[in-house]
Structures are given as structure tokens and as C-alpha cells.
Chain A
């Protein structure tokens, strides 16, 4: 390393280039090595890893000198006790990386065969099987600690909120700042439904319906919250769609403040003191179902004709109009649709916290959701999912750093904006069939196709 300084600039770039090349080489090697593993293989590998953790995680953690199982991939422990870094890395290797990698790789023939068989079935059955596996993984992983359960719940809610904002900011290409407002409307709408109907509360009096049927009515409460958010979106859409770009951002920002002030001044729903005693119905399965429904519906929406029209409006509104796209209707539908899902996210959040106050839905929330969207990537479902998961885990992992966290996360965002201005996974299509299909270039299949022709 010391000799580098004495070298001439060309030599330096040469060294850098060789380093870069060798890194690329290694990465390509890894990529090629795993290119044939289908999603099913990864799932089975992860499932083995989390089951392994359930069975012997504690034993291995203790024998490695860790106080207990590293709860969030060790981030939380290593920042406070740096001397535990080697044990944590070893733990991650033994419990997660080795089993996942080896099983995913070793089962390639079986999983590809299985995935191919599943593809013969109607697509929704194989999707449900995959989702079932995914849920099983989450269930086992979070079985270790309630902290993990809570994290997963918040992450899944963040996924919904991020996706819904991506519809407006990514697919529609506008810059909307009204999402906290929609979430607040959804949170209050859903909370009022559940608290008035099913809870004996000091604010609204006794329950109107027997609490036993409550959990079944929870989806309806969420939908009511979502619809309330849509109504709010409608109100903001009428005046604001005469404007574009910066002006829409300002109008929608104003909307967020209006909603906040409105709730603060509505004594009947608690005002600034907030609304509490929501029933505890937003558990992991129900949030998981909501998140899956959200991904599925939004993905179908953006891949439909309307979604394509939305992209056309984003790229050039005038041209889209000329090409017979009803731009006004398209924008309106997308905006209300996005608001609905933001409302659902708000409703779920209220039932996880079991307390809402208008202060939660301010500028800070807006910054958070925007950061997740732009971190993950515009105009892509995977991007939003990645953004929500990444941002949440990062912000949880860096919590022990307190104030430095707010230097690290924003600088990462700046770096991402410089090197990937549209986010990490932008402009990707979320093709479910492609994702779950077998990854091996199967000669047999090709032959079958030829034969059947």
C-alpha cells in the first residue's frame, strides 16, 4: 500500500482497474454459480436456515460466546460490543450463509424440477405455495423473538406505504407530498371503526357490536380507512391537477398540514392527545395478507392498460393526450388508488401501535416514506420492497449510534442519488411467472416444446 503513492498516475489507475476487474470476476463467478437456483431453492435454503436457528441457534450462539441469538443479523449487538464481531460473523456463517448457499446450490436439480412441475399448475396455486413458504420462513424466523415479529410488522406496513407512494411518484412521475395525510386519514378511519364498534372505550362509550366478530370485520375497517383516504385524495386532486411538478408538491404538502390540523382540532376523536385503545388485530398474518394483496393488486394495476397510460402521462402528458389517453382520468384513478393503499397502511400502523396522534403524520413521516421510495427505486415493485426493508433494517441496526445515524443514512441517500439517481432497483417489471419459474436452461423443456410443435 505504501508503494502506491510513489507510482505514477497511470500505474495507479492500472492497479485500480485490476482490483475492479478481479472484484467483478469474483462477483460474476458467484453470480454464475447461483444463476441456476430458482426462487424455490432459495426459499428451501432459507427455511432450513431458520429451522436450524430454531433448533440449535441458542446452543451455537452460546458456544460462540454470544449472550444470545443475534436478533437482527447481529447489527444490534456488534455496534455496542465490537469484540463480538467475529463471533457474530461466524454465527451468521454457520446458521444462515452456509445452509442457505449449500442447500440452494445442492438442490438445484430437485428445485428446478419442482418449480417446473409447479408451473404446469395454474399460476395462482404455485404462487400460493411460494407465499406459504415465505410466510413459514417469516414465522419461524420471528419465532425467536417478539422484537423480530414487531420489526416484520413495521417493515410490511412500510412496504405497503412505499408501494403506494411509488404509484404516484414513480409510475405517475409526479411529486406528491400528501402521503402522511392519507395515512393519517386511514389510521383514524380504521381506528374509529374498530374502537366505536368493538371496544368499550371512555371516549365513544360501550361497544356497539360483540367484540368476537371484530377480527373478521377488521378488513372492512381497513377498507373504510382506505376509502376515507381516497376521498381526501379526491379533494386534493380537483384543485391540484391543474398544476404539475413543483406546484403539485406544494399543494399536496399543504394537504398534509390541513389533515394534521383538522385532526388536532377535532376534539371528538381526541384532538392532539390522540386516539388509543385500538384492538390488537394487526398481527403478523393479517399484515402479511394485506401486504401480499397490496403487491399483487398494485402490480396488476401498473401492468394494466391504465398503468401503461400512466407511464405515458409521466413521459409526456401532451403526447399521451394526443394518443387518446384520457390523462385526467388516468391521473385521478392512480392518485385515488395510491391514496387507498396509503390509508390501509395507516390503518394497520394504528392497530400495531394501538395509539394514533396527529403528530405522527408530519414531515418526518413524509421524509421517511420518500426516502424509502427513492432508496429502493422508482417505477418498480421490487424497488419499493427493497427500499422498505433496507431502510427499516438500516435505521434499526444503526440505532445505537444515536445522532451519527442521522449522518450515515442521509449520506447513503446522497450517494445513491449520485450513482443511481432513480434508486437501487428502478424501472423493473415485477413478473411473477418469471420469478418463480425454474432457472435452469432446460434442454428437455426446449425439446418438449419442439416435440409438441
Chain B
């Protein structure tokens, strides 16, 4: 008993002592906190990794410059990167925590629409600006003045692909293979179909085949597409499925073009797909190979640091971080009253015109969606994403 008492009292004294030491180091007041809501674990950890790395690279730059200058005063910047486990509930929790606990000025993320839609609601309710670099669901920003995004929308991308094929190949018969269970491929497949039928009339999409997330065998759908007499097929899938689809199509004897969308733009696509993907086209936000200027600088830095060429998520996050930076800089002053500051940052983002990012020039519409150009990329014979042409709205 005596020993217990001594231990207890000893610990208490130690605690107080240690606290006293650390309590001395007060937190600085002039800090801007920026929240990043990223899927570091879960279904798409590669996306979370790209987000995190790009955001950290941006922070390095800011730290080198000594912070962000607002109204003649330098502010230090702190990033709070939180994991949303690629789940809607967690993304909502993370956003609430960032806003109420970490008291961030602005949130970057979440990336996937299934998290961005409910999180956008939270951000809008708390009047905190949020910019999702990658979410393409119109609901994310619709009627939410505080929510923005960094990428073009599917209703724009669908026609871009359709027009590109018309001009490039002059094909008239299209086929589509997409994942019916996943929100992004499904939406894009529909927009592409509508755009193609606008060009060539109903019936010009000769095969419209679907599968479900997690399927690994596409031979039934591919056989149908081959038999339908389509001249090419469009498959707006994620990198893991792209490899399987392309390889299986080639095994079944398909030798015509396969066209993809921005979800192909991951560093993993070529790694998994190999030679089968060489020579194929897809539409995306930016092209890594043959990039110039700021884009090249970003790619080289990222590659040197993390050992692979950044995908579109990283590039878009990088752009969004700079949009946020510019918006904060253009505020007249930061009052320290979060509500006011958040409002002024929000207004500043909405006012941004012709922002020159590495994924193209951006101007925000009233809905918080950017007007920007799409890039058509060809996968070169060395497996690199080569710039082919640029399509503007």
C-alpha cells in the first residue's frame, strides 16, 4: 500500500513537472491552418498518397518563402492531413473535426465523390470554403456557395472524347464498357453515349456493356462488343480495371483502339497493363511526358522525391493548393475571426480568373466549377503519358 501511494504521488509530481516545462512553449498566433481530407487508407490509398505528397511539397515551398503574406503580414502555414478511410461517414467526421477542432481556414479534399458530396454539405453548413481537387459529381458543388472543385466535370469530358474520336479517326460506330456500380464511370459512360448519339444519331452506340465493381473477367462483355462491329470502344475505368480490360480484349482478338478517360491517368496504369496499353488514347487533366515549364518542374521534383511520376490527382491537388494560396493572399487582411476570414477566402476563390495552373487555366463558374481545357494523352511506346492535343470548351 505504501509503495502504491509513493508511486501515485511520484507520478503526479512528475506529470506536473513535465507539464510545466511544456506549457511554457506557447503556440504561435499567426498561423494559417489548412485541412486536407484524404483517403490515406481504404479502397484508393494511391489517391490519398498523391494528395498528401503534393500538399506536403506545397508546404515546403511556403515554408521556404517564410509563409504566406496577407495584408503586409507574414503568416506561417500548418497542414492538417486527416485520413477519411475512403468512407463517407469518416469523411464527414474528418470535415467536422477539421472545421470545429483544428479550426482550419480552408479544406482541400476529399477526392472521391462519395466522400465529397456529404463532406461538401458539412463545409457549406459551417461556412468553411472547401475545394475538392478530383470530385466530378455535380452534386458536390451544386447550390453550395462554399464548395469548389479543381477539375472539369463529366458533362464536359464526355463530348471531348466523342469529338476527338470523330476528328481523329472518323469512326461512326462506338461501344462502351463501364462499371455500373461506380458513380464516376457510370456517369461518364452516359455523357459519352449522349454526345456520340448527338453526333451520329440514335443507334450509333452499338454496344453498351456494363459490369460490377470487383469483376475481373470481362470476356462476355468484350465478345459482345467485338461481335457488335464497333470501331472502337470507350472504357472510363480506374487503373486496376483498365489493365484487365485491355489485356483481355487483345487476347480475344480486338485490334482496334480503346479510348479512356481521366481515371486512366494513374501511375499504375502502365505498370499493370504493360505493352498492351501502348498507343492508346485517353482524355485527362494534364500530360506528364513532354511537359514544359511549371508542370515539368513539378513532375521532376515529385519524381525525384517519391520515385514515380505524379498522376492527375497529385497535379490537381497541387493546383488546388496554389488556388487556395492565391485566394488567401488576395484577402485584404486576416482578422483572426475565423468566420470572417473564411468568408473572405471563399469570396477570393470565387473571384479567381484565369488561374494558371499546371493542369490548365481555370476560372470558376458561379457553381464553383472551373472552366478549363482537357488534354488528350497518348500512351507512348515507352509507356509514358504523352501530350497529344488540348481541347478547350
A: which residues have CB within 8 A of B?
Answer: 26, 63-65, 67-68, 71, 76, 83-84, 86-87, 89-90, 93, 145-147, 150-151, 154, 260-261, 264-265, 271-274, 276, 349, 352-355, 357-360, 364, 396, 399-400, 402-403, 405-406
Contact = CB atoms under 8 A, between A and B. Distances in A.
Interface in B73-95: 82-83, 87-90, 92-94
A360 B92 contact: no
A273 B187 contact: yes
In the A-B complex, the 6 residue pairs with the closest CB atoms: A65-B23, A86-B18, A355-B118, A402-B40, A272-B183, A87-B19
A273 B136 CA distance: 11
Given A87-B19, A147-B96, A396-B93, A357 B27 contact: no
6 contacts: A90-B19, A147-B101, A274-B139, A355-B139, A402-B83, A405-B41
A431 B90 CA distance: 34
B19 A65 contact: yes
Contact of B88 (A360, A400, A405): A360
A264 B182 CA distance: 8
A265 B182 CA distance: 11
Contacts of A359: 114, 181-183, 213
Interface residues of B, number: 46
B173 interface: no
Interface in B92-126: 92-94, 96-97, 99-101, 113-114, 117-118, 121, 126
B220 interface: no
A265 B183 CA distance: 11
A64 B23 contact: yes
B169 interface: no
B186 A271 contact: yes
Contacts of B99: 146
A267 B45 CA distance: 29
Interface in B281-309: none
B212 interface: yes
A64 B20 CA distance: 7
Contacts of B22: 65, 83-84, 86-87
A63 B181 contact: no
B15 A90 contact: yes
Majority-rule SS of A interface residues: helix
A87 B114 contact: no
Contact of B118 (A65, A86, A353, A405): A353
A145 to B, nearest CB: 5
Given A260-B181, A357-B183, A399-B83, 13 more contacts: A65-B22, A65-B23, A146-B100, A147-B97, A147-B100, A150-B96, A272-B182, A272-B186, A349-B89, A359-B213, A399-B94, A400-B82, A406-B41
Interface in B131-187: 137, 139, 180-183, 186-187
A154 B41 contact: no
A65 B92 contact: no
Interface string B10-28: 0000111011001111110
A349 B93 CA distance: 13
B100 A357 contact: no
Majority-rule SS of B interface residues: helix
Contact of A64 (B19, B27, B180): B19
Contacts of B392: none
Nearest to A260: B181
Contacts of B19: 64-65, 86-87, 90
B139 to A, nearest CB: 6
A273 B137 contact: yes
Contacts of B101: 68, 71, 76, 145, 147
Contact of B16 (A90, A400, A403): A90
A307 B99 CA distance: 46
B40 to A, nearest CB: 4
A61 to B, nearest CB: 11
Given A154-B89, A354-B121, A65 B96 contact: no
A276 B139 contact: yes
B21 to A, nearest CB: 9
B88 A145 contact: no
B4 interface: yes
A65 B83 contact: no
Contact of B180 (A76, A154, A265, A274): A265
Contacts of A147: 93, 96-97, 100-101
Interface in B1-55: 4, 14-16, 18-19, 22-27, 40-42, 45
B194 to A, nearest CB: 14
A125 B36 CA distance: 48
Contacts of A402: 40-41, 83
A145 B100 contact: yes
B292 to A, nearest CB: 35
Contact of B139 (A272, A273, A405): A273
Nearest to A69: B101
A317 B183 CA distance: 45
B35 to A, nearest CB: 13
A364 B41 CA distance: 13
A264 B24 contact: no
Contacts of A358: 181
Given A87-B22, A90-B19, A145-B101, A273 B41 contact: no
Contacts of B212: 261, 264
Contacts of A146: 96, 99-100, 126
Contacts of B181: 260-261, 264, 272, 358-359
Nearest to B80: A80
